[in-house]
Amino acid sequence: MTKVLCEVAGNIWKVEAAVGQQVAEGDVLVIVESMKMEIPVEAPRAGVVAEMLVREGEPVAEGALVAVLR
């Protein structure tokens, strides 16, 4: 299992991946809006999204767990 963490504080602007989806290294999982900028959170490795722990519109803290890949 690989934990995917958010690098910045902000709000989840868009969820790009779904549970069960196959992703490649570098695929965008979610987009965070922070200080009027859209910052992608990418998959650190290829795998399948096991858990998506955020929803669009939710606030997120720096270092927060946003997804788990298997």
Q: What residue ranges do the domains of the chain occupy?
A: 2-69
Instruction: Using alpha carbons only, give the angle 13, 17, 18 rounded to the nearest 5 degrees.
Output: 115
Taking only the tens place, the pLDDT of each residue in 2-61 is 999 999 999 999 999 999 999 999 999 999 999 999 999 999 999 999 999 999 999 999
CATH topology of domain 2-69: OB fold (Dihydrolipoamide Acetyltransferase, E2P) (2.40.50)
Residue-wise pLDDT tens digits, 11-22? 999 999 999 999
Edge-to-edge, what's the strand order for the sheet holding 22-23?
2-5, 65-69, 47-52, 22-23
User: What pLDDT score does 63 carry?
Assistant: 97
The pLDDT value given to residue 61: 97
pTM higher than the cut 0.85: yes
